Amino acid sequence: MYKRYPSVQSMNAFLHAARTGSFSSAARKLDLSHSAISQQIRSLEEFIGQPLFIREGGGSNLTDAGQLFASVLADGLAQVDRALSSVKNRKVPLRMTIDVDSELAQSWLNARLPELLSALPGHELMLMSMPRAERPSFERVDVSLRYGYGDWDDCEMMQICADRVIAVAAPALLSRYELTAPIGPEQVLELPLLGYTRRSWIPWLDAAGLPPEEPAAVVVFDNAANLMAAAEAGVGVGLVRGLLAADALRAGRLVELTCAEIPAHYNLYAVWSHGQAERVAPLVEAVKQMAASTLSTTD
């Protein structure tokens, strides 16, 4: 419901008169005439419905209502002044709210935030990792970076990259078993294996020409970033996405064990609501270029 307020000028005139106890002093302070100050305060009193000053003996004293109003008005005008100062003569950055898959953020995107910010001058990024159940809604985000099959309804999307799933382990694990990469797929199964709740070993075994029987895992994870951290610690062998493992492979914290791999059908997409393609295009293109650069260095 629309609310009518008195002018800021009239409230400012009242506040100066209240502080000095003189309409004339307020007029000089604000570079206005005495009659202009009187008129502004009179209009304020008409709006409030009761007098704010008692004019007597050539001076002006606050009424009880005037004292109450003055005591709270100063903070209110100070807030208005701060609000104006926050945007006056200042270029406000374009805020972009991004829902980022938590595994992607931990293993890949966080390390590339400087590069992403450099590609988006004038933007302010807000990163969120929304629960999967909330992801169909775009009420809180501009674009979502999520894994899937690209079959979401009521939105627009672009595949960021195609990926592959590979077997990796820490050099320390290979050293314990007196092995040197690359090793054969059958030797991989002789090592402790790490499980992932959203990925079976069977497609990889099939691609490697091994019997498609799910092997036992020493630890099972529901988060790929945690699985990779365990692999880096030498706990076991993990099946991971090339994009998420790229930094660890480049740094030597992980090694690719064998040439056996499978294409990832559950890939990374940028997803946004209809009509927002132009707004999110710089971000989507920047992320796509960073993914392409990452994968080109690991091929």
Residue 228: Cβ within 10 Å count:
25
Q: What is the β-pairing status of strands 143-148 and 123-128?
A: unpaired
Distance CA 10, CA 44 (A): 6
Largest CA distance in the chain: 105
Map tokens 């820490």 to a residue. Answer: 170
Q: What pLDDT shows up at residue 122? A: 87
Q: What pLDDT shows up at residue 91? A: 63
Q: What pLDDT shows up at residue 97? A: 92
Is residue 288 packed enough to be buried (19+ CB in 10 Å), middle (13-18) or exposed (0-12)? middle
Q: What pLDDT shows up at residue 192? A: 98
Could you tell me if 195 and 230 are in contact, meaning their C-beta atoms sit under 8 angstroms apart? no
Distance CA 76, CA 148 (A): 49
Q: First-to-last CA distance in the chain?
A: 61
The set of residues, in sequence order, having a beta carbon less than 8 Å from that of 13 and lying 6+ positions away, is 26, 30, 32, 36, 37, 40, 41, 44
Residue 251: Cβ within 10 Å count:
9
The single-letter code of the amino acid at 106 is Q
**pLDDT tens, position by position, for the chain (299 residues)?**
566 888 888 998 998 888 888 888 888 888 999 899 899 999 999 998 999 998 776 677 899 998 999 889 888 888 888 887 776 766 656 889 999 999 999 999 999 999 999 999 988 999 998 776 555 556 678 999 999 999 888 889 999 999 999 999 999 999 999 999 999 999 999 999 999 999 999 999 999 999 999 999 999 999 999 999 999 999 999 999 999 999 999 999 999 999 999 999 899 999 999 999 999 999 999 999 999 999 987 65
34-48 and 23-30 are packed helices; what angle lies between their axes, rounded to 10 degrees?
A: 110
